[in-house]
Structure 1
Amino acid sequence: MSDIFELKLKVQPEHIDALGHVNNVIYVQWMQDVASAQVEYLGLGLEQYLELKHAMVAVEHHVQYRKAALLGDDVILRTWLSDINALYSFREYVFYRPQDQSILFVANTKWACVEIATGRPKRMSPTFTQAYQPLSKNIDPLDFSKSML
C-alpha cells in the first residue's frame, strides 16, 4: 500500500500570470512534480525505468480549479494512488492552502505502462505493481489536519 505523499512550496513570481494568480499550466507542472517525487520516493524513478525498459506515462488528466493561488501563498501538493490494474495506475491530487484551509485544485491522472523503446502498452512488472499500491480506503486524503509535512 502506498501512502499519501506531499510537497510544500511557496508561490513564486514565475508562477503568476497576467491575471495575478497562478497560471493553469503551473498546476499541471506541479502535478508532474509531486507525482515524480513520489515515484522517486517509492524507488521507481527514471533510472529504474531505464533499467526495467518500461515506464509509466500520463494518458489522461482531469482537473478542477477551485480557488486561485496567489504570490507568496504556501501550497501543499498532495498525491496518492487510488487504483491499479495490469496496464494502468490511477493517481489523485489535491492542492491545499493551509493559511485559509482552502482546497485550490483537485485532479486525477490515468497512467499507462509502456515499453520505452516502442511506446507500446506493456503489462506492469512485479516491481511496478508492488510499489504502485492504492491508498487504503481507511485513510481520508482530504483530511489536512494530518499533513505529512
Structure 2
Amino acid sequence: MSSIFDLQIKVKPEHIDILGHVNNVVYVQWMQDVATAHIETLGVGLKEYLEMKHAMVAVEHHVQYRKAAMLDDEIILRTWFNDINALYSFRQYAFFRASDKSLLFTGSTKWACIEIASGRPKRMSPTFIQAYQPLDIDTDPYAFTIL
C-alpha cells in the first residue's frame, strides 16, 4: 500500500498570468513535479527507470480548477495512487492553499508503462507494482488531519 505524498511550494512571479493568478498550465507542471518527487521517495524514480529500461509516461490527464492561487501563496501539492493494473497506474492530485486549507485544484493522471528504447507498452515490473500501490480505501486524502 502506498501513502499520501505532500510537497509544499510557494507561488512565484513566473507562475502568474496576465489575470494575476497562477496560470492553468502551471498546475499541470505541478502535477508532474509532485509525481516525480513522490516516485523518488518510493525508490522507483528516474534513475531506476533508466536502470530498468522502462518508465511510466502520462497518457491522460483530468483537471478541475476550483479556486485561484495567487503570488506568494504557500501551496500543498498532494498526490496518491488510487488504482493499478499490469499496464497502467492511476494517480490523483489535490492542491491546497496552506493558510486556509482551501482546495484549489483536483486532478488525475493515467500513467502507462513503456519500454524506453522502443516507446512501446510494457507490462509493469514487480518493482513498479510493489511501489505504486493504491491508497487504502479507508484513508481520506482530502482530510486536513494528515496535512
**Same fold, TM-score > 0.5, yes or no:** yes
Q: How do 1:1-149 residues align onto structure 2 when only pairs under 5 Å count? A: 1-147=1-147
Q: Which segments of 5 or more consecutive residues in structure 1 lack a partner in the other structure?
A: none
2:86 and 2:60 map into 1 onto residues whose CA distance is: 17
- Name the SS for the 1:106 alignment partner: strand
Give deviations 1:18-53, integer Å, cap 9, x for gaps: 100001111000000000000000111111101101
1:144 and 1:71 map into 2 onto residues whose CA distance is: 23
1:23 and 1:132 map into 2 onto residues whose CA distance is: 30
Runs of 4 or more, structure 1, over 3 Å off, are none
Give deviations 1:62-112, integer Å, cap 9, x for gaps: 000000000011110000000000000000000001222210000000000
Root-mean-square deviation (CA, aligned residues, Å) is 0.6
1:119 and 1:127 map into 2 onto residues whose CA distance is: 19
Q: Which segments of 5 or more consecutive residues in structure 2 lack a partner in the other structure?
A: none
- Name the SS for the 1:20 alignment partner: coil
2:105 and 2:28 map into 1 onto residues whose CA distance is: 10
1:51 and 1:131 map into 2 onto residues whose CA distance is: 16
Range moving further from structure 2, 94-103 or 48-57 = 94-103
Identity of aligned residues (%): 71
Compute the TM-score of the two structures, normalised by the length of structure 2: 0.98
- Name the SS for the 2:56 alignment partner: strand
Per the TM alignment, residue 2 of structure 1 is displaced from its structure 2 partner at its CA by 0.6
1:21 and 1:31 map into 2 onto residues whose CA distance is: 17
1:10 and 1:116 map into 2 onto residues whose CA distance is: 33
Per the TM alignment, residue 138 of structure 1 is displaced from its structure 2 partner at its CA by 1.1
| Number of residue pairs the alignment of both structures matches | 147
Compute the TM-score of the two structures, normalised by the length of structure 1: 0.97
